[in-house]
Structure 1
């Protein structure tokens, strides 16, 4: 019998290779920016965000997803507003509730930090992600029409928020 329990924990530096593999395979033109996953990337963590910015999902001892949660603003007046800057699930692990588990974990983490609001951006054409966020209580705050030009098509950016 296999263990289908998804667990969430903080990322550690040793997760880099597995997270990079998810990063390079999980995004497409409807969900991300092809220019950011093209080329010969060899690192996942960046100077701006290290392992402490990520929660990771494990299934059967294997990393299958991540979510990045950071302060949205670097100044005191914006304290309490956090931003999700990426949620990805490995393609072979989709449809198993991993995105929901990560969303629940990030909400718990935000509450633990005393946040009052979580924000995120999503491509308007990414209906799967939008449904996930809306199921978790996120509401549309605004739309930026034709914000991006991806593969020759204009894509709206949609701002969503959860008020805690």
Structure 2
């Protein structure tokens, strides 16, 4: 495996990140509506380049983690949320998800966060194991939170305390 580096996203990453986004998810891990083939933008007003860290393998963008403030009010300061983590299919199994989670933890600490939270589908056991290896614990379960392909899907709330 070549060298994996992590850096902040820039506007020029949009096409590569969109390509990952449109192919990284299936019904067990994401929302089919978010991978519609007519989608043309990855970044949005709420989720621009500054919310993303990207992983590069030998200079090619192969993954991202979206790390954002969870709450817009001062009482929730210090709680960040991973609102997406994806690795290109061609780069899976090389530890890139772990590298991105480590980078997200480092970034959260740099920003003075005390906690990182995330949601994971109950059907996404691979991701849940990854998060648990990085110190995330289940704080709750939202039963039947979504209907995907006609089936109810539970969502787990996981968190990692940084202090």
Q: Per the shorter chain, which TM-score range?
A: over 0.9
CA-to-partner distance for each residue in 1:81-139, whole Å, 9 max, x for gaps?
00000000001110000000000000000000000000000001100000000000000
CA-to-partner distance for each residue in 1:24-49, whole Å, 9 max, x for gaps?
00011011000111141111100111
Q: Is residue 114 of structure 2 the alignment partner of residue 116 of structure 1? A: yes
Tell me the residue number matched to 2:55.
57
TM-score (norm 2): 0.98
C-alpha displacement at 1:4, in angstroms?
1.4
Tell me the residue number matched to 1:30.
28
Alpha-carbon distance in structure 2 between the residues aligned to 1:88 and 1:6: 15
Aligned CA RMSD, in angstroms, stands at 0.7
Alpha-carbon distance in structure 1 between the residues aligned to 2:94 and 2:6: 14
SS of 1:104's equivalent in the other structure is helix
Contact 2:4 / 2:57 at 8 angstroms: preserved in 1? yes
C-alpha displacement at 1:54, in angstroms?
0.1
Q: Is residue 140 of structure 2 the alignment partner of residue 142 of structure 1? A: yes
TM-score (norm 1): 0.97
Alpha-carbon distance in structure 1 between the residues aligned to 2:107 and 2:45: 22
Contact 2:15 / 2:42 at 8 angstroms: preserved in 1? yes
Tell me the residue number matched to 1:105.
103
Contact 2:9 / 2:54 at 8 angstroms: preserved in 1? yes
Which blocks of at least 5 consecutive residues in structure 1 are unaligned?
none
Tell me the residue number matched to 2:74.
76
SS of 1:14's equivalent in the other structure is helix
Contact 2:144 / 2:152 at 8 angstroms: preserved in 1? yes
Tell me the residue number matched to 1:158.
156
Contact 2:147 / 2:153 at 8 angstroms: preserved in 1? yes
Runs of 4+ in 1 over 2 A off after TM superposition: none
- Paired positions, count: 162
SS of 2:72's equivalent in the other structure is coil
